[in-house]
Amino acid sequence: MENSWETHQIFNQYDELNNYNLFESDMVLKEILHRYGSQDLETFSTMGEVVGSSEYYLHAALANRHSPILHNFDARGRRIDFVEFHPSWHKWMAINRKYATHAHPYQAETTAKWVDWATRFYLSGQIESGNLCPNSMTLGSIPLIQCEPELWEKIGTKLLSTEYDERDLPISQKKSIWIGMGMTEKQGGSDVRSNETLAVPVAQKGRGKAYLLTGHKWFFSAPMCDAHLVVAKTEQDGLVCFFVPRWLENGTKNNIHVQRLKDKVGNRSNSSTEVEFKNAWGIMIGEEGRGIPTIIEMANYTRLTCSVGSTAMLRQALVQCLAYTRQRKAFGKPLIEHVLMKSVLVDLALETEAAMQLSFHLAHCYALSDDLSSVWKRLLTPAAKFWICKRTVELTGEMMEVFGGNGYVDQGIMARIFKEAPVNTIWEGSGNVMCLDVLRAITRSPETLEIFFQDLALTTQKHEILYAEMSDLLLLFQQSAEDVIFMGRSLVGRLVILTQAVLLQRYAPKFVADAFIQSRYSKFHGGVVGMLDSNIMNIDDILNRAYPANV
């Protein structure tokens, strides 16, 4: 019998989606950009085609498969502390630099500049998240460095440059540079006040003056950045922030010794290290004795990037699920036609759009300076980071399950997203730190919550369910300080869900807003995805809105 040796034929198997335009297939994103007045639609269409191409999907896979390699010494024993990256890493760094993912808000003048930045970050982060770490830290460092006129004069154009320069050289010799961060020490973690790294003035002390730093950083991200913002203590002024370059102006390496690379669960394309400072040279930036507030200003931006980055992971995983279930058949019909699978997919679609609406509206607030926008930034930056990043860890596990055993195989994007998701819950402050930051803002300025709820009330007062939830939250926030802290995760989580519901009620189609509100405030919505009442939502319209079947 011809070909009798063949044991099976490969059919009903489908690879993960690639080679499609991430922007043109995203109806919700287009609506958001129209709402906030973006003028960069052509740019986003081009970027969406590039990063969604098979070429860049492959570069993402290769950059994560071939992790960075640390070379402490050259062949003759000279200390170099050089981290070698796969060429695909440089491809991603270059494409993000080209589109100013690291600096767009500081180059543009429009009120949509932060939404336009978030779009760049969101499109790129769907495919390769690791390289967004140096993009994020550079973004957050720029407003701090702009407050140091002499330093900005030297390096400002290199920070804003859209030309990628991977060479390991002194800043003066480079076309563009990256900035990293060094806060965490092994004895303290989030407790930065316990830092022991000591900075001693070379001559005069004070802002803009040179110091020598001695100590250790347990997490130093990312080591091949051209300089880092570092928190260290001083004998006279307490904790201070320093600008610490990797190279000195005389062409020699600064005394920053990389001990090892971190062997991380995910974020494999990016390098994180432990380092020692042995009289490393740095310049004090910010006010004396205000090192933590200075670095936290940077963290406010990088926390926003965590929310946008996690939203990007949700979006990519959702699109992969929809594309796959429309092709893969089980029990005689496509997976997406099975009712129980639909309950999972529609829940994922609602959660993803809610994350998008919140992340992009929050980004829009960063372009404004009015009191309401300031309140949104102060309350919702940590709150959104807490909730969206936490939900992404859970939901990417559900999304991986849609692919069955194939989703659990470590050769595709679903497994990579799943392993990548936890980094945003931990980096720039754990969930507890974020909740405490929200509560601290309310305690220090009680009017903050009042202003925020006044804004929500414009919508909630017209909706019985939302108004009841807001009223309940107001009462709960008035409990004793200890009770409020004990309920911190519950209160902040509920605050975010209410905010998402309000934004959907304002800006999304009625069938989306109604489905989200009825499901999130229903006895059917439980601890796992897909516990919904099908009678309260237009399932097919929600799924086609998320990713049209004819794309």
Report all structural domains of the chain as residue ranges with CATH numbers, in order of start. Answer: 27-160 (no CATH), 175-289 (2.40.110.20), 294-546 (1.20.140.10)
Cβ neighbours, 10 Å, residue 194? 11
First-to-last C-alpha distance (Å) of the chain: 43
Between residues 97 and 237, which one has the greater pLDDT?
A: 97
For position 2, what pLDDT does the model report? 60
**Mean pLDDT across the stretch 2-13?**
77
- How confident is residue 36, by pLDDT bands cut at 50, 70 and 90? very high
**Mean pLDDT across the stretch 448-468?**
97
- Give per-residue pLDDT as tens, 211-229: 999 999 999 999 999 999 9
* pLDDT for residue 7 is more than 70: yes
131 Cα distance to chain centroid = 11
* pLDDT for residue 438 is more than 70: yes
- The pairing of beta strand 329-330 with beta strand 69-73: unpaired
Cβ neighbours, 10 Å, residue 321? 28
Give the C-alpha separation, 88 to 150, whole Å: 36
| Nearest alpha carbon to residue 383 among 475, 494, 531, 251 | 494
For position 4, what pLDDT does the model report? 65
Query: Is the separation of the CB atoms in 151 and 243 below 8 Å?
Result: yes
Q: Which two tokens stand for residue 262?
A: 């971190």
**Mean pLDDT across the stretch 120-147?**
97
Secondary structure E strands in 183-310: 198-201, 210-221, 227-234, 238-245, 256-261, 272-285
Give the C-alpha separation, 306 to 298, whole Å: 13
* pLDDT for residue 525 is more than 80: no
Give the C-alpha separation, 349 to 322, whole Å: 9
Angle at 155 between CA 153 and CA 156, to 5 degrees: 70
Helix (H) or strand (E) holding 349: helix 339-365
Give the C-alpha separation, 17 to 455, whole Å: 40
For position 524, what pLDDT does the model report? 74
- How confident is residue 57, by pLDDT bands cut at 50, 70 and 90? very high
**Mean pLDDT across the stretch 156-181?**
98
| Nearest alpha carbon to residue 356 among 306, 291, 311 | 311
- How confident is residue 3, by pLDDT bands cut at 50, 70 and 90? low
- The pairing of beta strand 79-84 with beta strand 210-221: unpaired
Angle at 535 between CA 530 and CA 540, to 5 degrees: 70
Q: How many Cα atoms occupy the beta-carbon half-sphere of 180 within 13 Å? A: 24
Query: Is the separation of the CB atoms in 268 and 334 below 8 Å?
Result: no
Give the C-alpha separation, 291 to 296, whole Å: 8
- Give per-residue pLDDT as tens, 343-354: 999 999 999 999
Give the C-alpha separation, 354 to 493, whole Å: 13
- Give per-residue pLDDT as tens, 471-503: 999 999 999 999 999 999 999 999 999 999 999
Three-class secondary structure of residue 5 per DSSP: coil
**Three-class secondary structure assignment of 17-78:** CCCCCCCCCCHHHHHHHHHCCCCCHHHHHHHHHHHCCHHHHHHHHHHHHCCCEEEEECCCCC
Query: Is the separation of the CB atoms in 444 and 378 below 8 Å?
Result: no
- Give per-residue pLDDT as tens, 87-117: 999 999 999 999 999 999 999 999 999 999 9
| Nearest alpha carbon to residue 338 among 348, 346, 330, 347 | 330
Which residues touch 145 (CB under 8 Å, ≥6 apart)?
151, 152, 155, 156, 159, 179, 243, 285
Give the C-alpha separation, 487 to 477, whole Å: 9
- Give per-residue pLDDT as tens, 262-314: 999 999 999 999 999 999 999 999 998 888 889 889 999 999 999 999 999 99
Q: What are phi and psi of 419, to 5 degrees?
A: -75, -25
- Give per-residue pLDDT as tens, 362-386: 999 999 999 999 999 999 999 999 9
Q: What share of the chain is helix, strand, coil (3-state, %, to 5)?
A: 55, 15, 35
* pLDDT for residue 257 is more than 80: yes
Q: Which residues on adjacent β-strands are paired with residue 276?
A: 216, 257
